[in-house]
Structure 1
């Protein structure tokens, strides 16, 4: 049930139109949602349901699921950016609010654990990062882009890739129209021009920076 409440916002956004069609057709929405999670989210998209299992997160043994513990520790101590449910018109449960996430952090990592976001921003500089030669790329439909640097500055170009299904990691992952995307068609898996243009920009930046290193 936790998975039904919590799973990735990017995937929910793609599924919402289909859920709306099923509602109009009089289909049992809980059954339809459970079927979707089992067959698509787990079966096709191959995402582990353990990410939201607090018993699993308490296991500190080193194994293939250790990254879940590490990620949540970073969320609970440094970055927060809890993906809470919108106040209305959402398939995400209203129970997934800030309090839910703070309780998760306390339950998994103990009393006194709290995301010190201000400390993190001061230490790393927030959007005023004290570094250079970094490329920031974000999909237009990725909710995480709002926690990224979205404005270019000297030595740190930033690009928002705008296209249909331009979600999380679109600059690196497979074609948005692949079989692992809602209504995706592997036979017509053409990478959008918006993705290719940003990839070309990335190549140009990296080539320039490498040439500067060779010349020094």
Structure 2
């Protein structure tokens, strides 16, 4: 019961902290936000405001997506800071500072102009996660936009579908209608959440928010869904650890067994 109450309190604190931040996003108070959250540059344009609140939301979204898969992704620890702080706003400051320390940042870049400039850069970067490539895929295949336009969303409502689609046009000159058509084509071509294929294992963790877009039930004898309790994004793809929960250990065994079965079957049919 303690955990349920704590996480509900955490959710309320996150909501409150973002409401406070939103109320301060005007010329009279924005300098306070710049100082309190270590912005590298002044928040001048409305687009900078969107960049700012999205960067704050990314801390929480990333922690949930990769919970316990890296030292900086610990939902429990983040919630402890949010709940135990003197106020929701102070909690958000602490969490932001903690995230900066983990990443090794001295300030957070909230300039929309610089963000777009960086994403337009076509030079190959051997490190990082390929952010430009990911954005291109969202604009030409997936969509997958994380917005905050419903009242239940705990973050800032400044993050809308429009602000996400605008990036496609700013970076790649891809208009919104083209994005919609591309996403529709992807769903139709690959079968959306009923792909009707074979020898596929759909693996998801129940902590990972992305599981909502995946296949969660077996579609056929060769389209298998494995849903892992207590794990986040792609936990099964990481190396085995002694701290792995039993559900993850069992899932890895099921995956290995099924793939071995399919490989043996392929050998006998050749």
Answer yes or no: same fold by TM over 0.5. yes
Q: CA deviation at 1:137?
A: 0.5
TM superposition outliers: structure 1 runs of 4+ over 3 Å: 5-8, 22-27
Q: CA deviation at 1:203?
A: 0.9
Q: TM-score, normalised by structure 2?
A: 0.63
Cα contact 1:6–1:96 (8 A) shared by 2: no
- 1:94 aligned partner: 157
Question: Superposition RMSD on alpha carbons, in Å?
Answer: 2.9
| 1:47-96 CA-partner distances (Å, limit 9, x unpaired) | xx89x933211111222258211111111121112112353462x33222
Relative to 1, partners in 2 of residues 1:27 and 1:146: Cα closer, same or farther, differing over 3 Å?
closer
Cα contact 2:83–2:91 (8 A) shared by 1: no
- 1:167 aligned partner: 232
Q: Superposed, which structure 2 residues align to 1:52-201 within 5 Å? A: 53-64=115-126, 65=128, 67-85=130-148, 87-88=151-152, 90=154, 92-112=155-175, 113-115=178-180, 116-154=182-220, 155-163=222-230, 166-173=231-238, 190-201=243-254
- 2:68 aligned partner: none
The answer to whether 1:38 aligns with 2:100 is yes
| 1:25-45 CA-partner distances (Å, limit 9, x unpaired) | 6772343132122023x149x
- What are the ranges of 5 or more consecutive residues in structure 2 without an aligned counterpart? 1-51, 66-74
How many pairs does the alignment contain? 195
Q: TM-score, normalised by structure 1?
A: 0.77
Distance in 1, matches of 2:170 and 2:82, equals: 35
Higher relative contact order (CA 8 A, sep 6+): 2
Secondary structure of residue in 2 paired with 1:11: helix
Return the index of the structure with the highest Cα Rg. 2
Relative to 1, partners in 2 of residues 1:30 and 1:66: Cα closer, same or farther, differing over 3 Å?
closer
Cα contact 2:205–2:227 (8 A) shared by 1: yes
Q: CA deviation at 1:97?
A: 2.1
- What are the ranges of 5 or more consecutive residues in structure 1 without an aligned counterpart? 179-188
